[in-house]
Structure 1
Amino acid sequence: MSKRQQNKEERIQLIIQEAERLFLENGFEKVQMQDIADAAGIGVATLFRYFPKKDQLIVAAAVKNLQPTLERFEQFMHGEGSAYERLEAILNHFFEMQLERTNHARFREAFESYASFVASPLPGIETYIDVQRQIMQTLEPLIEDGKRDGSFRSDIDVKVTVVTIINTFGTFGNNILLKSHISYLEDDIEPAVQLRALKEMFLASIRA
């Protein structure tokens, strides 16, 4: 890569980084392209050359936000232990991230809510969907290993069960923890307790 191309890539990554921060702090609707240009230290005309529409930048920030999840899943798939132990490690990872209420999780929740309410598909959303597809594809070796090593039940559709567990656990955790400040009452069972119980139920449902 030439120095010029490297500088361009670094500028794009800075733009996406600052956009993600501003979107998280102020919401997608309130942030203007001028705000992002100012934060990145570039002219707004330069910003529009890279991202002609704000929604393109929103998707780019969402893709960047999702990449660490893909990398983490790939690490789990190549880790040690039985398929069941690696699935448990994935759920533990989700559990820890959700308890920390990281900006990473908050941004993804906000983006998916935003994307679901727009009138037409966001430009470039196919890239985000493709990364999600790659994440699910990383589970294929886990599924096959579970069949071979006998750590998953043999009387169920393992692929359907694993994918459902991952999707449901992530969605439930985001909803109950990220929204607990507006829906959690003192007499309720704490969100962390509910999430831990759900994890144990899921693991018990697939363990041989």
Structure 2
Amino acid sequence: MDPKTRYENERLAGKESRERAILEAAEQVFTNKGIEKATMQDVANEANVGIATVFRFFPKKDKLILAVATRKMEDVLSDFREIAEFNVPCLKKIELLFDKFSFLERHAQVKLLENFDSYVAHLTEPLEDIESYNSVYQEISHVFASIAEQGAKDGSIRPDVSAQDVLTTIINVFGIFARKLTLLSHIPVARQDFPPERQLTVLKEIFLSYLRNPNQA
């Protein structure tokens, strides 16, 4: 490799490393302090870089917010893709998705995404470049649609329901409930006699029982 190419590769690697450090710092700051109250200086302090460096990568706070949220949604997309590729019936894939949502220790991720949803909901205008986030969200929908399509063909889902509509509704309901329980589980005054883990297990069993094709063993 010639010196010029090596220098360019090292420069790009350094740039990617700094950007990743800023995103990781922003994720921590947004999670702990809240998106609304967090400042770019807070992020710079967390990342141990100058404020000018943060603005060089992300000229506006909203661009940084969107980049962090998109990064977390890409993690969700990775989970969906992994499960979609398993060589198991559709019903088993739905169960695996339930289990992914049931990890209550993902409090930081859930708190960040809930904070992002609330922040966006209160904006008077859409976030600039929101297409990048929506693109990942749409890809998650496409992957899930492929799972639902399998359910309509492999016989693991009861044939008297619309696999796409019912599975989408059920997975959304379960996901919202899991996110709420995850947040409440970290609030001492909201402790419940019926453990959140058990509540999710019961809901999962109800949904799986409803979806299961009675004509299959």
Counterparts of 1:53-72 in structure 2 under 5 Å? 53-72=60-79
Return the offset for 1:107.
1.2
Could you tell me the TM-score, scaled by structure 1's length? Answer: 0.89
Give the unaligned 5+ runs of structure 2: 1-7
Return the offset for 1:38.
2.6
Distance in 2 between the 1:73 and 1:189 partners?
29
Indicate the SS of the match to 2:160. Answer: coil
The count of aligned residue pairs is 205
- The answer to whether the aligner puts 1:22 opposite 2:29 as a matched pair is yes
- Amino acid paired to 2:145: E
Name the Cα RMSD after superposition. 1.9
- Partner of 1:137 in structure 2? 142
- Partner of 2:190 in structure 1? 184
Return the offset for 1:205.
2.0
Structure ID, larger Rg: 2
Q: Which of 87, 90, 105 is the aligned partner of 2:94?
A: 87
Give the unaligned 5+ runs of structure 1: none
- The answer to whether the aligner puts 1:40 opposite 2:18 as a matched pair is no
Indicate the SS of the match to 2:87. Answer: coil
For residues 144-200 of structure 1, what are the alpha-carbon distances to aligned partners after superposition, in whole Å with 9 as ceiling and x for unaligned? 2212210011111100111111111111111133134277365x5333332222212
Check the 8 A contact 1:34/1:44 in 2, yes or no: yes
Counterparts of 1:190-201 in structure 2 under 5 Å? 190-201=195-206
- Amino acid paired to 2:35: F
- Structure 1 runs of 4+ aligned residues shifted over 6 Å read none
Identity %: 36
Distance in 2 between the 1:53 and 1:59 partners?
10
Distance in 2 between the 1:118 and 1:51 partners?
19
- The answer to whether the aligner puts 1:173 opposite 2:178 as a matched pair is yes
